[in-house]
Each structure stands twice: as C-alpha cells, then as structure tokens.
Structure 1
C-alpha cells in the first residue's frame, strides 16, 4: 500500500486566508442590512408606543371631556415660587403623561401617585413646609408625600424616578442617573415659544391665573397642549388629522449633543428676551455649534445643568423635559434664555435616521423628516417675521411654514398635502 495515499488532505494557508476574506466580505455586506432591519423594528416599536399614547389621550378625553393638562396637579400657597421644590404639593408642574398613566396600562403607578405615600414614618411630627422650598427637614421627620406627589425633581419619590417602558423609544440608549424616569415622547406646545410656562402667579399670597398673563397665554400658547391651561378636542379648529399633539425627543447622553442639552444664554442678563426677539436658529444657536462636529456644542459654551438633559423627567411639564415647539425643524439645536425651567427653542428630535415620529391629534402616527418646510425658522431677520404673540399678529397663521402649521391648533390652516 502506498503510504502517501493515506495522508489526509488539508487547507493550505492561502486557502484558509481566502475563506476568511470571503466570510469578512459577506459579513460586511450583511451587517448593514441586519442593522437596518433592527432599526426598522425599533422604529415600529416606537410607533406602537406612540399609538398607545394616542389611544390613552382619546380615552382620557372620553372620560373627562378634556385633554390631560400639561402643567397640572396640586399647588400650595406656602412655597414662594412655582419653580421652587416642594414636598407638600407638586406646584402644578406635572406633565400630560402623568394623567395618562391609568389609560396606558400603568394603573399601579397611578395608584401610587394618586394616594399619599409614606416611605418611612419615624413617628415624629413633620415640620411645616418651608417657603424657600427646602424639603430636607420634612423628609428627615418622615412626613408623608401628599397625593399627586411632590414637585417632579424629587428623586426620593418613587414614581418620578420610575422608568415607564411605553414612554421610551427603543432606539434611544439613554438610561440611569443623572436623569430620573426618562421620556422620549413630549407634548406639542405649538409654534410660539412665548409664555409656554403658563400664567400662574402668586397674588396676595395666593396662586391664580393672573389676568394680564391669561391674555398673553391665550395668544402665544398655540399648540394642542397649553402650559397649566386645559384644552379640548373642540379647540383644535385646524382638524385633528392636521394637528400634531405630541412628538419625539431624544434624551441626553451627556455628550454635548446640541439636540439634547440646551445652550444657556443666562449670562447675557436679559433672559428669555435675549433669544425671543432674535430669529430662532441662525443667530442664537449656530455660532456656538462645533464646526468640526455639527451635532455638538463647542465645549466651552455655557449649557444648562447636567441634571437638566432633554427628556430627563417624564413627570415634569417644563419644555426641556416633556415639551417641544414646531418653530425649528426636527433635530435642530436647542437654546434657552435662562435655564431648563425657562422658555427657549426646544425642538423635536430622535435617534432615528432623518426625522422624528409625531402623534397627530386623531391618533395617527407620522414620520416627519428633518427637511420639512419650516418657513421663517431659518430665514427671518426681524422679530415680526416669525413671532406670534399678544402684540404681534395674535391668532394669525403660522410663520414657520408647514411644520409650524402642523403644530398650531386654531389658525384655520388647511394642510393640502400628504405628510
């Protein structure tokens, strides 16, 4: 027998390298397709979350004949300012999402919120609420949290720190501190950023809807949701199918993304007017954007605090956390004239490629591209060219193009194109 005929054949080194190269090419070709399929699945899941929120909004309206108030809840006459923290009330700072919890299969968390909660009663008599908003003494004494909870930044109150899966887009990887419970879905507040925080003011020691501010809010709050004011479907004169009720926001990852952490103009001393009276994007945000990384801020410019990232508090009604405007196009940089609690140019944003999901008032979910026509948002040179409020064209049609028209509820604008 020939000894060499028994020798097994084997791959040569060249053949092995060729096989590895072929496998590498195939993986390189298939990986983008796999990633695209995964993102498509995540987008579908995100859309389904929004549909649940839309259904919850309609069920809420059927039950109460109004939409959930964005900026609702309880208020006390001891805490000196609405922006201060309080453990005896939530100072009317709850987002529209809080009222929706029992309508989107979150009855358990709603029961926690709607009833008093005592984490650890120590048997001491709780001290009186502090006008400065200090809460440490009451917490140390074991005072119970009231029904509807404290103000939404209180990390000791479990519901505010709870992450609700329905409120999270699967494409957004953000999680954990310094945020509390995150949300990727925010109320549409219209196309005008003026007076979005509402008209509550303390008069003679009592909180009320102050008359002069009521008029300003009536002109400026043009969205489906109005800060601390209620709306009904009958108020949406443009038609439910033509009006955005809510939209996506990407949550902050701590990386100076100019869509998720706001540039602050507080140091300029004039607060909100420092950016309200100047065209939204071109002159106020773009100069501070990093030219080499257009999605990020230049690191040396002042931004809001690290705990004030976009979407960081699902229960908080401030625009930073759960609201947006159809003034700047989707995925635009965000700017504020003061801090996270102040008015500013808060745009919609997402981790999806090229646009954002929006929820129409009739419950339909649409995908809006970043290139949607936005009128004067990028071309205005003077305040009257883009701003609508009590003094400038109240009740007029949006000056922010199709994007602005979709965000305003009652300017009787006809949308004659498919979106």
Structure 2
C-alpha cells in the first residue's frame, strides 16, 4: 500500500512579506507627492473658477448699472464723527468694498438682503445669532469696527481660494480677491476726498495723477474709462490672507520711503535672510504695532486696500510695504497666493490668467507716478514698473507686446 504525503501549508515566508511591505512603502512614497500635486491642481482650478465667476459678476453689474462696482461706497459720513476712519454704528462711512455690490450677481442674494436692509440680529458671544435692539441700519456700521455685524463676519466661498488655509478670528469674513488700483498708491486710500469725504480740488488733482487703475476709490468708474483695452488691463488680483506668522505678503512693514523706492522693504535687511518669506524679528509691522486684527484680506466688506486692494508696483508675492503705520494710510499691496510660483489675475475682458513672480517689472527703485513730480514720475508717464506696471494702468497708452 502506498501513502501520499499531505500537501504543505501555503503561505508567505517572513522575507517575502517584508519585501512586499517594502515595495508598497516605496510606491506610497512615490505616489504621495503626485496626489498632493493633483490636489493643489484641483484647488488652483477651483480658485480660477471663483475668479471667473467674479469677473462675470462684474460684467453683469456693469450691464445693469453702466459702471463698475465702486471701491469705497456706502451711506456717507456720520456727522457725529470727525473722520472717515472713525467707527460708527449708524453709517458705514462710505467704506464698503467693491465685493459688496456684486454679491447678488454671484448667487449671494441672501447676504445682500441682510446688508441692504435693517438687520435685527448680531453675532453673540457664543458665535450664534442673537436679537439686536435697535437693529443695524441698512448697509450696516463701518466694516472692521464691529465684530457682531453678521454679514461682515460671514465668509463667502466665492470669495475664498481653497489653497489659502486662513480661517476665523482675528479676521472677520476673509477674501482672497482684490481690485486693481494701478501702479501708484498716491491717494489710493481717499481718492479725491478729505477726511470728512468732501471733494477737494487739490485732492482731485492728486487722485487724477496717481490713481491710474481700473478702480479709483469713491469714484464711479466704467469700462469706457479703460482706454488701453479690457484685454490689456488688470481689474483684480488674488491675495493671501494673514496666518499670524509675519509673512511678507500678509503683514505690512512700515517704511516712510516706499513711495520713492518701492523695493526698500526687501533690500534694507527687514526680511529675514534665513527665511526670506518672513520679516526679521526687529522689523516694525502694522500687526506688530497695532494688533493681530490688521491682517491682509481680513475684511471682505472693507474698502481699505490692505484688505481688498492690489497694485502692480511690486511683482506677485512681493513685500507689503506701507508709507504709514495704519491700514487706512497708503502702502504697496502686491497680489499674492498660496499657489506655487505666482498668482491669478482677472483681466477687464473677464479672462483669468496666472502671472508668475518673475514677470518683468521695470526699475523697482523708481519713484511712483505722482502729482507735481517731474521726469519718469510725472503725471501721464508710462509706468516705471515695466510690463507688470503697464498691465495695471487703464489709460497710459502702453503697448502690451509680451505674453505673460
């Protein structure tokens, strides 16, 4: 009689198991960067789509009202305050941003109804809404001074870039999109008006000379004012919001000479040489001097250019460099983003383009165009900041002959 041996048990040896685990580890290591890159590509596309919707909203607004949404608009001056920068519960001091009027055109009718009508609720200590007596007046208080006004504390997804991780306090409702004010900050905060919002001859002259972008604060602007052509003119750009880390793109350094030399903030040692995306420890900034609530992009309803404005002076992702020590004063506010290598911009014709940090930007040590200046900074001169500067001006007759 013959006997057959039983079949041996099937399985892996320890060596084979370790080899398989090692191979899986290598594959995961190779795959993760690709997954991260794919996620960022998706976020970048979503950001671009948001900007396209904003561009369509601006065009639809223009079709409805025959003008662009105004930067710094609203319910006028509170007669009981001394200046527009004072807080007020009965008026917004005409400081609303260009984003407020376009909310009905980006399917945010609900938030527009809250803003444009008296509102009898406020944000309570727990974060929920509680009754308010008396109610807020239509179009609300001065944005940025009241952390209980619900619309100002609301973050709208259409105004946020998915790549930007900033959320919540000390910011209010944040935004990653800002209107273009041109290639000079001369009169960028007040335009043709004084501290009580009264138009003055001298202020008007300075504003006409220095405010060369598609948007001019307190002033009605339209597509017909963009003589260089809508496809050749930037009307808005992307911006980072502050994370409380002294980032050079979100916390404004204070320098008195930035009008004469825009590059001063990045060349005089104020940037940390070991971490060039951050300010050195001894650099004086607006947040360091006045508190953590003064970060870039922190107030979507506020028309001050620290929050909702950008300029084509310093290339994208350059340093925030202020002439004065408060957000309500003048400063250089370049666009910025969390995307690698550049940021999105919105052209007047509605096209969204990605501009790299290395775009040609002329001589960064040249004085800005300004009233009463002579030479390259005299009124009507072509932009001293090359292709980048010329894209931000609406009627300087520069020829755009390069792809960007």
TM-score, normalised to structure 2, is: 0.91
- Distance, in Å, in 1 between the alignment partners of 2:81 and 2:8 is 90
Indicate the SS of the match to 2:74. Answer: coil
- Distance, in Å, in 1 between the alignment partners of 2:232 and 2:363 is 20
The residue that corresponds to 1:291 in the other structure is: 273
Indicate the SS of the match to 2:133. Answer: coil
Shift in Å at residue 264 of structure 1?
Answer: 2.6
Shift in Å at residue 283 of structure 1?
Answer: 5.2
- Distance, in Å, in 2 between the alignment partners of 1:301 and 1:396 is 33
| Correspondence for 1:157 among 137, 142, 149 | 149
Shift in Å at residue 276 of structure 1?
Answer: 1.9
Shift in Å at residue 340 of structure 1?
Answer: 1.9
| Correspondence for 1:250 among 232, 240, 251 | 240
Q: Does 1:410 align with 2:395?
A: yes
Answer whether contact 1:318 1:341 (CA < 8 A) is retained: yes
Which structure 2 residue ranges, 5 or more long, are not aligned? Answer: 123-129
Answer whether contact 1:357 1:365 (CA < 8 A) is retained: yes
User: What aligned pairs does 1:216-235 form with structure 2 within 5 A after superposition?
Assistant: 216-235=206-225
Indicate the SS of the match to 1:82. Answer: coil
Residues 285 and 119 of structure 1: is their aligned pair in 2 closer, same or farther, counting only changes over 3 Å?
farther
Shift in Å at residue 207 of structure 1?
Answer: 3.7
The residue that corresponds to 1:316 in the other structure is: 302
- Distance, in Å, in 2 between the alignment partners of 1:292 and 1:254 is 19
Q: Does 1:193 align with 2:185?
A: yes
User: What aligned pairs does 1:106-117 form with structure 2 within 5 A after superposition?
Assistant: 106-117=108-119
| Correspondence for 1:352 among 339, 360, 365 | 339
Shift in Å at residue 101 of structure 1?
Answer: 0.5
The Cα offsets for residues 45-87 of structure 1, whole Å up to 9 and x where unpaired, read as 1111011100110111111111111011112222111111111
The residue that corresponds to 1:133 in the other structure is: none
Shift in Å at residue 141 of structure 1?
Answer: 8.7
Answer whether contact 1:285 1:333 (CA < 8 A) is retained: no
- Distance, in Å, in 1 between the alignment partners of 2:268 and 2:46 is 33
- Distance, in Å, in 1 between the alignment partners of 2:281 and 2:87 is 30
| Correspondence for 2:320 among 334, 343, 353 | 334
More displaced 10-residue stretch of structure 1: 286-295 or 175-184: 286-295
Shift in Å at residue 18 of structure 1?
Answer: 1.4
The residue that corresponds to 2:369 in the other structure is: 388
The residue that corresponds to 1:124 in the other structure is: none
Residues 209 and 118 of structure 1: is their aligned pair in 2 closer, same or farther, counting only changes over 3 Å?
same
The residue that corresponds to 1:65 in the other structure is: 66
Residues 140 and 207 of structure 1: is their aligned pair in 2 closer, same or farther, counting only changes over 3 Å?
farther
Shift in Å at residue 155 of structure 1?
Answer: 1.2
The residue that corresponds to 2:38 in the other structure is: 37
| Correspondence for 1:281 among 250, 263, 282 | 263
- Distance, in Å, in 2 between the alignment partners of 1:182 and 1:291 is 30
Answer whether contact 1:245 1:359 (CA < 8 A) is retained: yes
- CA-based RMSD of the aligned residues comes to 1.8
| Correspondence for 2:97 among 91, 95, 98 | 95
Shift in Å at residue 215 of structure 1?
Answer: 0.8
Shift in Å at residue 7 of structure 1?
Answer: 3.9
- Distance, in Å, in 1 between the alignment partners of 2:322 and 2:265 is 13
More displaced 10-residue stretch of structure 1: 90-99 or 283-292: 283-292
- Distance, in Å, in 2 between the alignment partners of 1:113 and 1:140 is 16
- Distance, in Å, in 1 between the alignment partners of 2:328 and 2:267 is 18
- Distance, in Å, in 1 between the alignment partners of 2:267 and 2:58 is 34
TM-score, normalised to structure 1, is: 0.88
- Distance, in Å, in 2 between the alignment partners of 1:108 and 1:90 is 20
More displaced 10-residue stretch of structure 1: 26-35 or 48-57: 26-35
| Correspondence for 2:385 among 374, 395, 400 | 400
Q: Which runs of 4+ in 1 moved over 3 A?
A: 282-286
Shift in Å at residue 142 of structure 1?
Answer: 2.7
Residues 285 and 200 of structure 1: is their aligned pair in 2 closer, same or farther, counting only changes over 3 Å?
farther
The residue that corresponds to 2:49 in the other structure is: 48
The residue that corresponds to 1:146 in the other structure is: 137
The Cα offsets for residues 359-414 of structure 1, whole Å up to 9 and x where unpaired, read as 0011000000000000012xx2xxxx331011221121101000000001110112
- Distance, in Å, in 1 between the alignment partners of 2:131 and 2:110 is 27
- Distance, in Å, in 2 between the alignment partners of 1:175 and 1:275 is 30
- Distance, in Å, in 1 between the alignment partners of 2:35 and 2:207 is 48
Q: Would you say how many aligned residue pairs link Structure 1 and Structure 2?
A: 383
Indicate the SS of the match to 1:275. Answer: coil
Residues 208 and 372 of structure 1: is their aligned pair in 2 closer, same or farther, counting only changes over 3 Å?
same
The residue that corresponds to 1:184 in the other structure is: 176
Shift in Å at residue 11 of structure 1?
Answer: 2.4
